[in-house]
Amino acid sequence: MRRNHGRRPRAAAVVADGHRLDHSQLAERAWSVANGLKNLGVRPGDTVAILCGNGTFSAETILGAITAGAIAAPLNWRWSAAELEHGLNDSQARVVLADGEFAPVARQLVESGRTAGVKALVAEGDQYDRFLGPATPPELRLDPAKPAVMLYTGGTTGASKGVLLSHTNVMANAFDEIIDTDMEPDDITLLIAPMYHSASLLCWFMPHLVIGACSVFMRRFDEEHAATLIESERVTNGFFIPNMVRRMVISGAWERRRTSSFKRLYVGGATFRLPDKEAVRAVLPSTRIYYQYGLTEAGPIVTRLRPEDMFKPELDGSIGQEMLLNDVSIQDEDGSDLPDSVPGEICVRGPNVMIGYFNRPEATAAAFRNGWLRTGDVASRRDGYFMFHDRLKDVIKTGGENVYSAEVEQALYTHPSVAEAAVMGVASAQWDEEVRAIVALKPGARVTERALQDHCRARLAGYKVPKRILFVPLDRIPVNPSGKIMKRELKEQNLWADAAVLG
């Protein structure tokens, strides 16, 4: 921030809902937040919780908390009151900074006495304006090994845990992104995913800040609004989860707007196969596509598939190669490296990998083995590229065979009528587990269960073909902000009347 304040003071830094801050203004706003926190008694290592949607408020408060030496903890505004209570207590938040939309629920919790560790709640508006301190850099020397942010994860599998990432972790990931995905100082990125999500905060906002580029915020995703912003702000790149990409293509929003400025499309978080890529190329022929794989604990990006490899048929389904500063290994259950083409757990180490889970030493110890972070994901390596298979927990054991649910989902996604698909195991007296699929079709599309089964049978071994396929409306498929289908929530919907879903 200090460097941008001096070198690019009048260059745009943040654009949101008609509000604009250049790099001089953003730095000074963040310094004011940092000094305001110091005046409230916040000391290095304290947690500052931030509850807000995307916008200038999120940018300046997160940066301000980090600049004060505190741990910035942007919390999930989609949480229920009970989940937010857990987050505030679990993070040991000392101060809460909340925007106008979410301040009421935070205030209700704080005033109820159920968040005893919170000493102050500062709400956007007059109170926030009075809280701000001098717009000068605070006199503080930061230790790069200390935590900078705490991001909560675990939304697809269970209770959320706070992931601690140091200043070094954050900067290492930024360097990886800038170098390996071709970011430039004159870039204008479109930020759609919430800033409590690691991809939005650490893979797009922070790297663009480091090089003095600009971030355009969307508070909530809307196809037409996204395309309008690309046109009006001359956006050069943006991160879209696959679900958003499909919605943009289906809606025709990209085609209705002038998108010649949009040079790079970043995709990640879920399956993105060749039919999706070809659909994008048909409407954005000059846009280069990058696919990224990662997890919050890794800081978050582990691998990337670059544009020059994107349309190679032999790499369809590949998550690419390791980022510049990462080491990636495919390991067996004992931690030994596996040879090419043999599936195993993706393990990663590097300067971007987390410090650990906040106040969870046992969970932290379980996440590492011999210095390697265990991702819980299965892949194999082939000719220097990683081929993703599945989450370890999503492997279906049917009739003595292992079926990777992601492999079946990928086969379903190659059908032109399928918008979203989730494959899971269902308890079966005959097979132990039975492969089944929940599918949402594209608007106006029609296809039968038998036709989809035949489509899969042409691409998969017979035991991998779903024995049952349930069709549901697209809005019945729960998706989290990272683009992952929430299978746990799908299972809780009890969609199968004849059997219990395992897991």
pLDDT in tens, 209-240: 999 999 999 999 999 999 999 999 999 999 99
Which of the pair, 491 or 242, is modelled with greater confidence? 242
Q: The domain that contains 479 carries what CATH number?
A: 3.30.300.30
| Cα 142 to Cα 23, 67, 92, 138, 500, distances in angstroms | 21, 8, 21, 11, 52
Residue 189, phi then psi, degrees to nearest 5: -100, 145
Residues 42 and 98 in one domain: yes
**Is the domain of 450 the same as that of 327?**
no
- pLDDT surpasses 80 at 155: no
Same domain for 409 and 379:
no
Confidence at residue 483, expressed as pLDDT on a 0 to 100 scale: 63
Per-residue model confidence as pLDDT tens digits over 463-498: 899 999 999 998 888 887 656 788 878 877 777 766
Is pLDDT above 90 for 78? no
Query: In the predicted model, is pLDDT for residue 111 greater than 60?
Result: yes
Could you tell me the CATH number of the domain that includes residue 39? 3.40.50.980
What is the predicted pLDDT for the residue at 156?
A: 43
Q: Does any domain span residue 162? A: no
Distance CA 320, CA 180 (A): 12
CATH code of the domain in which 294 resides: 3.40.50.12780
Tens digit of pLDDT for each residue in 86-98?
A: 999 999 999 999 9
Per-residue confidence (pLDDT) for residue 479, from 0 to 100: 80
Q: Pick 428 or 128 by higher pLDDT.
A: 128
Q: Which residue has the tokens 């349309």?
A: 311
| Local structure of 437: helix, strand or coil | strand
**pLDDT higher than threshold 70 for residue 203:** yes
Percent of the chain with pLDDT over 90: 81
Number of domains in the chain: 3
pLDDT of residue 166: 98
Is 223 a member of any domain? yes
DSSP per-residue letters across 234-277:
T--EEEE-HHHHHHHHHHTHHHHS--TT--EEEEESS---HHHH
Same domain, 367 and 294: yes
401 strand-pairing partners: 398
Q: Is the domain of 325 the same as that of 432?
A: no
Identify whether 183 is part of a domain: no
169 found inside a domain: no
Q: Are residues 372 and 253 in the same domain?
A: yes
156, part of any domain: no
How many C-beta neighbours within 10 Å does residue 361 have?
A: 9
Q: pTM higher than 0.75 for the full model?
A: yes
Residue 56 belongs to what domain range?
Answer: 20-142
Confirm if 259 and 230 have CB atoms less than 8 A apart.
yes
The reported pLDDT for the residue numbered 97 is 98
Domain finish residue from 369, 391, 413: 391
Digit-coded pLDDT (tens) for 343-393: 999 999 999 999 999 999 999 999 999 999 999 999 999 999 999 988 887
In a shared domain, residues 347 and 213:
yes
| Residue 367 sits in the same domain as residue 411 | no
- Does a structural domain hold residue 165? no
